Amino acid sequence: MFTYLKERVDLRIAFAALALSVVGIVSVYSATFDAHVGEIFSRQLYFLAAGIFVAAIVTLIPFRTLQMLALPVYIAAIAMLVGVLLLGRTVSGSTSWFNLGLFRVQPSEFAKIATILALAAYLSRSDVSLKSFRNLAVATGIVALPAGLIMAQPDFGTVLIYGGIFLPILYWGGATRFTMVAIIAPGAVAVAALFGTTAFLIAVLLFAVLLYLTMEHRIVAVVVFSLMVTVGISVQAIYDGLKPYQQKRIDTFLDPGADPLGAGYNISQSKVAVGSGGLLGKGYLRGTQTQLNFIPEQWTDFIFCVPAEEFGFLGATGVLLLFLLLLYRSLALATIAKSIFASVVAVGVTGVFATHLFINVGMALGLLPVVGVPLPFLSYGGSFLMASLMMTGLLLNIYFNRKEY
């Protein structure tokens, strides 16, 4: 029986996802225990049950059907993103949700899945090669369209996840090293410019060398170099055009101690919570930062602080190891799947989980700015939890059909 199950179900992926979901439910309960928001836990429990059911359905959908549905699902996702801009509910300055009575639906979470499927379907075509500029432009457009609509909401944190989808798939799909450098360079130089002139010049020099070493087209290399310098120089103007709360987040990232009771408050309290857990933690429901509600709405973006404070270094490490197991198996699936479509989907899902993990934990430790990126399976949010479990279902589907071409 066990051998039969092992042959058809990737037990390590299923275990990691379920274990993280349990940690998430336990953490949400703790974070809301003394916050007088018991309905938050009840809703998360409901969405967990619904998400597991949906994940099971996704796992059992015939593999070819998923591939055929990729384009219609993508078109539907784009329609929902347009619809939410016109009819959606605005919360904290972002128009990202449809209000459905007791629940809110965030289309951008499901658009990630649709984008992965559409990109995988396109790249699996026999006549498509990322070495062709036209094919590369189409692939870029598939990702840029939903990312642009989400940026219009605005939701910068979710837009970052699309980079986590696009770059790994681009690399996996056979893009040249020059292409990868050309795409990464402008953004990397812009980030470096935030840290001052010295960091900007070092980044420009580094990417200039990389462009030279990987150069395929001299004119394109010159254009990319000019673009990254222009973007770097324009950072100050772009910063001035941001909304005040966005500027505050950047300022807090560069200097967390500049406004400890304002924009830097969450980061400061998060670092205290993580550090105060020690080796073994303070015990479940005994975390002072958590139970005294020092971190506002901790059950969302700063949920990682709960296991870190209440179960200490060992608890936080356990959570990270579960994520590493999930990421390792996801990448392994990409290498063993016979279908190009399945392989690309596995890489895309891995990119989503890895980017969320990197940014969210970086936020909790004060290493990255607060950009509103939740932690898969742990953070409160019905749409996000269901989307995470649906992506798990895709991975399990790929494993079940890994020998199909």
2 or 180: whose pLDDT is higher? Answer: 180
What is the model's pLDDT at position 253? 61
Transcribe 298-336 into DSSP letters.
TTSTTTTHHHHHHSHHHHHHHHHHHHHHHHHHHHHHHHH
The residues pairing with 104 across neighbouring beta strands, listed in sequence order, are 99
Rounded Cα gap, residues 292 and 333, in angstroms: 43
106 CB-near residues (< 8 Å, 6+ apart): 96, 97, 98, 381, 383, 384
Residue 26 has pLDDT above 90, yes or no: yes
**Host H or E run for residue 170:** helix 156-172
Give 203-255 pLDDT, tens digit per residue: 999 999 999 898 888 888 888 899 888 888 887 777 777 777 667 766 666 66
Rounded Cα gap, residues 291 and 42, in angstroms: 18
Give 177-194 pLDDT, tens digit per residue: 999 998 898 888 888 887
